Structures are given as structure tokens and as C-alpha cells.
Chains A and B, each alone.
Chain A
Amino acid sequence: MSSSSLDMPRPPPTVRGASAPVPEDRIGEIVDAVIAAAPECVRKRVLLPAIDWALVPPHKVNLLLSSLEQAGLLLPRWLAKPLLLAGHTLSGRAGDALPGALKLLARLNGAAGEPDERDGLAASLKSLTSTPGVDADIAVALVRRLVALSWDDEALRFALAHAHSVPQLLRLAGGVFDQHLASLPLLRLRVSGSSTTRTLVDALGPAFAVEGWRADIAESSFGSALGDLLAPPDDVDALVVLLDVDGLLATDWRHGAPDVGRLAAERADLLGEALQSYASHASVPLLINTLPVPSGPTAGLLDRQHGLGLRRAIDAVNARIVDGAQRSGRVVVVDADQALSALAARDHVDPKLWYYGRIGYSAEATHCLARAFAEAWQIVRRGPVKVLAVDFDNTLWGGIYGDDGVGGLACGEDFPGNAFQALQQECLRLKAQGLLLVALSKNEESALEVFAQHPGMVLKADDFAAHAVNWQPKADNLKRIAEDLNLGLDSILFLDDSPHEREAMRRLAPAVVVPEMPDDPAERPRWLRGLTATWPARLTAEDAARPAVYAARRAAQDLQARSASFGEYLSALEQRLVVRLVDDRTLARTAQMHQRTNQFNLTTLRLGEAEISALADDPKGGLALVGHVTDRFGDHGLVIAATVDIDGGEASIRTFLMSCRVIGREVERAFVGALIEELASRGVARVRGVYVPTAKNAMVRDFYDSCGFSLVGDEGSGTIWSFAIGETAPPRSTYVTTSWEM
């Protein structure tokens, strides 16, 4: 073996001359050539993955990005990741199309640590904090970057949120984590097992910290699980027992067939008796796991039924454990198959660790079990949420009630409505478990009738203990309902398909539990089943009766009063409105919006392409405008449009409509302001607007009033409004940055 020191530099290459090229320069040239050919390399996905971007200077990375942009190529994820992990920043619009975690890393790499940057990134960080399954490399880079910026709180929150899947994050957070840990309530645990428990002990500390506890762990001696069950400790808050297949069911095959089966049964009996004894004597809760499905059978096909079958022995042990839990509420069972379901059975155990140190589970499996123990403790201590507040459109059914009508909503036996129906079944399951259902939808109140009118709805309106179906901010509605039901906001779970609504709720009512729901409706039913916030600690008859008690207290409430901090939410959205004259590129979408929009539509005139282009092509006689909205969460596309007839100094708004995607965010104020300014520049002095009521557009009844128009006529067919340019200032919104693009 060489004795030379690792930190002694290797001699530099000595060859230098015209005849013999220097290897390092050659590589540099090749990298330059690859960057020069970047668009082709991206299309074919070659060469670029081989480059170590930490060794490439930033200006060359910029060169690469701009050549992709010029070629009209988006920066692909497989290239963005190594660039960002190497610490590069992304210039221009290169990072726009990236998924959340990479986009955030791009912004963090470019951040200088200014307070306003910190505020700007807070929301994206927060939503990423509630998104499970962040790529481990990216998570590590994010925490490193946050620590480097001294954004300690953010680093800690993110590390805690993802520590279950990426345990090293807590070490990276370092001192901040230690400080945080010191502030948590103390929990004294004793850990014992059927084999070595040291690796579990190491994993339990962080796992309990994630759930908000500082675990002080005493480890029992090797294999003392049964001993601790028979003589329960009384100087701790809980006993954790880790059972493993090899440790509990090790078999000496010398005994021969009949005895092996009998011995396995005896072991199960012994454990069962120990659990019974614990249930009747112990004063502290026990957290114990079942044995997981084995990676291989000992009786082949007959493993579940024959006395020699390992699976049969495991089933017998598990039956005893479950029996113990049914006898006493102090016995809390962690289902190992559930806890380890993310791993293949063969990865539950790392055989070399077993033979090396009688360690019954692999490192991954140990982390999964530690997490399950900590979550079980939390569920037992805090109990599940008490309220499920749920959105309507695209959550309980597919489609938008206001636009598609009852008949157009997807919910029923057939695809894709069956996924929504399944989610409704999950809501009913939670109701049966004792949760209160609350309807929370931005809709006309008539949306509640959908439950009676649509044949596919398994939920009915009276399943909801309370409802707020209106256009107020959902957080205000929910606070009011929580008061009425006399429940804390922290006992409410909020489900909504819109990232905006989730973000607004997190900001305005931080105590509410707001998980990131999967985008794909097909994933949602099973996702909801796995959501530990809903898991019951115990199921009792009283729980099932609770909804009825609250239903009696239900009262129709007029929910108004906008929260002051709703403005903060709007500012943080960083909304941008780009206004354009309608042209060939936007004509089709503008006409389509005219056909489809029902709710935010002042006149509901279904103008077609020909009528719109007639107005657009005659600057003296008409005007057709569209608006493109983007915000921090993404691009909403063309969502607002208006057409106007111009006659000298008089103009009359023929249509004014907006997609409900951006309702309630002042985009319409900014757009009408831009419209009036454009008309003023064309010499118009007076703008007329009409509101024609329909069954669906009640929400815009007062729109012109709120924009500074005055009422000049009220006919049966609608109201007529007028705006005097020069006398009244055009409406503006401080929450929307407006610009023109020709």
C-alpha cells in the first residue's frame, strides 16, 4: 500500500510544447466547442452531461444559456440540475419553465442576501416545504445555500420538512437545528428491540425533532424487548420496541419440521403474553412495530399456510401485537408494511449489516420506521384534525360550475369523473371517522345545489357542517366558521386544487393545515388516505356522532370583511398584466374567451372572430384589447379581454370579460384602467358601460361602480354606466404591474 499523503499535490503535467498538446487545455477547448454547439447537444442530449460545471466559469454558462434562448430552446431539467448544483445562476428567462425546487435554487444562487429577496422567496420556499419528495441533491443544495445566506429560519424549516427523506439536511442546518432542538419540549424515550437498536436510536432523534419533540433516548441492552414489556420502565414518557424478523424468529433447523413450527408459535405466544402484561401494568404508552413482509419464504408457495412458513410465523406474531393494541389504548402499533411501503421487501434488510452487527433493518428502512414511530407518537398526542375544509371546482368535481354548468361537471362512475367521485368517498370516510366537512368555494351560492342536481355526486349538501360559498377570501370565511364551530384553526385541514388558494390560506391563516395536493386527480384519493394529519388515534362511537352535533349549529352566515393582510398576499403575488391590441396571434383565443366565459362577463355577447377583428382593425371606430397575466406561480396566459365601439368623443364598451382563474386579484381594475387610458389617447371623453344580468354573472353587477363609473340608467334589461375621462381618475391597482406590448 502506498504511504504517500493524500493532501500532497500531484506534480503538474510537464509536457508543454507545439508538438505535444497539454491535456488540460485540450479539455478546455472541447468544453468551449460543446458550449458553442449547445443547441445541438441539448436536442441530442449528448456531451453536456459529461461536463463538470463547477469548473466552468460563469460567463461561459451565460454563453450557453443565451445560445439556447436564441435557438428557441428551453433549458432542460437534466442540464439545469447540474448547472444549479454547481452554484451557477441562470440569466434571463432560462429558469422560468423549471419545476419548483430547481427554480427556487436558481433564485437562491442569484440571491445576494437582501431582506426583500428573502420576502420574495418566502412563499415559494413555504410551498416547497409542504411538497413531499424533493430530489435529495437539490434539497441539500437548497439548505447549503440558505445556510450560506444566513437565512436560518428558512434553512431550518426546509430541513425539518424534508429530513425524513433526506436525513443529512439536519446536519447541514447545523447550529440552527441544535438551537431549535433545545427549544422543543422534552420527550424521554426508552428503546429496546429484538436485535441491535443503535441505528434506530440515531434515527429517532431527528425523526421526533421533525414532529416537534426533543427526544432524550435511553437504550436498553441488546435483545431486551420482552424484558422491557414484562417489567415496564416508569421513568420515561414512552417505550419504543423495535421488532425484526431475524431477531425474533431466528430458527435452528436441527429441531426438525414439527418442532420448528411449534417453537415459532411459542414465540408468538410469549410476545402476546408480554404485551398483555404490559397492557395491564404499564403506565406509559408503548410504540411497537409489526413484523414486515419477509424478503423470502422458508416454505415456498406454502409460506402462509404451513407450520414451517416464515410468513405464517410472522402473521402469528402480528396477530398477537394487534390483539395487544385492541386490549389497551396504551399499546400503539406501527404497521411496518405501511411504514416501509416505499421500499422493496428485499431492501428492508441489509444482510451484511445483519451479519456484521445483528442490525435488523437497512439504513433506509430504519429511517422509515423512525419516522413512523415519531408520527404515531404525534397522532396519539395531538389527535387528528377535526375539520376538512374542501374546495368545489376541480377538487370535488372536475370542471368549473360557473362556466361549465351542472351538466358539464365531471363526477360519477366513468373516467375521469370517477376519480373525483372517489375523493368524495374519501371525504365521506373522514366524516364517518368524525371529521366535520366544510364547503369552501369561490362560487355563486347556487353551486351548493350541484350536490342535489348532479347524479354523480355521492356527497350531499347536508354532509357539510358549514359552508361558505361566495367570493370572499377563503381564509376569512374559514376563520369565521372556526369561530362558529368553536374550533382552533390548527384543527382544520384545507384541500384545494389551486396553488394560489393554498398559498393565500398559508399566509392569512398560518395555523390551518394546508398540504400540497397532487395535481393529478387520479392520485388524490390514495394521497388523502396516507395523509397522517387525518389519521385517527382511536376510533370511538362518539367520533362518528360528532358531525351531527355540529350540523345543528350550522347557520347561514354573511361573510364579508376583507382581511387587511389579503393585500399583503396580493402584493407578494407580483402580478404582471401585459395589455395588447388584438391581432392575428390573439384573435382566436379572444373569440374563444367570448364563447366560454360566463361569470366575469358584463354583457355576455358571444362575439366571433369576424366581429372582433372588425373592431380591432378600425382604430377610429373600435378597439379590441386582451391582457396576459403572469405571477410568481406561473403564466396564466390571455385571461381578460374587452371590445369597444368608438364614435368620436364617445366610446361604448361592447364586451368586457375575464377568466375566473384570476378573479379577486384586481387584474380587472388594472385592465379597465389601461382601456380608459388608451381611449383617452384616441380622443375619447366619455366611456359608456353596460351590465346585462344573466343567471351566472351576478358577481360583476357592481363592477363599473367599483371602477368609478356613475350609474346613468337602470332598465329592466340591465344597468348603464358612464365614465368621464379627465373628471375621474382611471382605476388602478397597486397589486398589478401593467405594461403595453404592441
Chain B
Amino acid sequence: MDTYASATELIYPEISEIFADVFQHGGPLTRGTSPDDVPRWDSLQHIALIRALETTFSVRLSMDEMMEIRSVGDIERVLGRHGV
């Protein structure tokens, strides 16, 4: 039946796309995924991640938030705070 399909399961499915793009990371993502699990997530690529989050979700992240993000769960929390 053609009802308006139900929403997808992930809160921000774009995050896996960003991880594939920025870190070439194709593995599954959990809220616990951190720099330890993603080889290319170093301090410089962290900038690229922040940049991708800012453009994808049209938000401006602060310096504190930039430091706060240390896992996928942190990303969700920060984006949630911005009302994304």
C-alpha cells in the first residue's frame, strides 16, 4: 500500500554518509564509535568531520562542541542540542 512510508530507524542517517566520505569508513556505526575505531579519525581529519557536520546539518558548532565530540553518540547529542 502506498501510504507515506515510515521514517527510517537512524536519527541522523547522514552521519554514516559523512563517515564514509570523511574517513572512508564503511563499517557499522554505533553511538560508541570513537576515534579508536576509525583509523583516519585523527586531530586534523576531525576538522573535516566538523566541517561536514556543519554543512550537512546547517549548524555552526562552537569550539567547546568541537572538543566535546569524541564519539558518534556525542555527535547525536550535539546535533540534538542544535535542534536538528
Contacts and interface: CB of A to CB of B under 8 A. Distances in A.
Given A59-B2, A352-B62, 16 more contacts: A1-B77, A2-B31, A6-B29, A6-B30, A6-B31, A7-B10, A10-B9, A24-B4, A25-B3, A31-B4, A55-B4, A202-B48, A352-B63, A356-B47, A356-B63, A357-B47
Contacts of B26: none
5 contacts: A6-B31, A24-B6, A199-B47, A352-B61, A355-B63
Contacts of A3: 30-32
Interface residues of A, number: 34
A57 B2 CA distance: 7
Contacts of A359: 47
Nearest to B20: A171
Nearest to B44: A198
A358 to B, nearest CB: 11
B73 A1 contact: yes
A172 to B, nearest CB: 10
A378 interface: no
Interface in B32-77: 32, 43-44, 47-48, 51, 61-63, 66, 71-73, 77
B66 A352 contact: yes
B30 A5 contact: yes
Contacts of B2: 57, 59-60
A130 interface: no
Given A1-B73, A25-B3, A357 B44 contact: yes
A168 interface: yes
B9 A7 contact: yes
- For the residues of A in contact with B, the DSSP-based class is helix
B75 to A, nearest CB: 11
Contact of B72 (A6, A31, A168, A199): A6
B21 interface: yes
Interface string A171-209: 100000000000000000000000000110010000000
Q: Which of A10, A199, A352, A359 gathers most chain B CB within 10 Å?
A: A352
Contact of B73 (A2, A59, A202): A2
A741 to B, nearest CB: 37
B28 interface: yes
Contacts of A171: 21
A455 interface: no
A162 to B, nearest CB: 16
Nearest to A353: B47
Nearest to B15: A6
A418 B28 CA distance: 62
A24 B3 contact: yes
A27 interface: yes
Nearest to A356: B66
Given A24-B6, A168-B21, A7 B28 contact: yes
A1 B4 contact: no
A290 to B, nearest CB: 25
A134 B50 CA distance: 25
Nearest to A2: B31
A545 B43 CA distance: 56
A9 interface: yes
A4 interface: yes
Interface string B1-24: 011111001110000000001000
A105 to B, nearest CB: 20
A159 to B, nearest CB: 15
Contacts of A551: none
Interface in A37-59: 55-57, 59
B47 A6 contact: no
A567 interface: no
3 closest Cβ pairs, A-B complex? A28-B3, A28-B4, A352-B63
A191 B44 CA distance: 17
Nearest to B33: A6
Contact of A55 (B5, B44, B66, B77): B5
B4 A56 contact: yes
Nearest to A28: B3
A171 B30 CA distance: 25
Contacts of A168: 21
B37 to A, nearest CB: 13
A356 B44 CA distance: 9
Contacts of B28: 5, 7
Contacts of B9: 6-10
B62 to A, nearest CB: 7
Interface string A341-355: 000000000011101
A5 B11 CA distance: 12
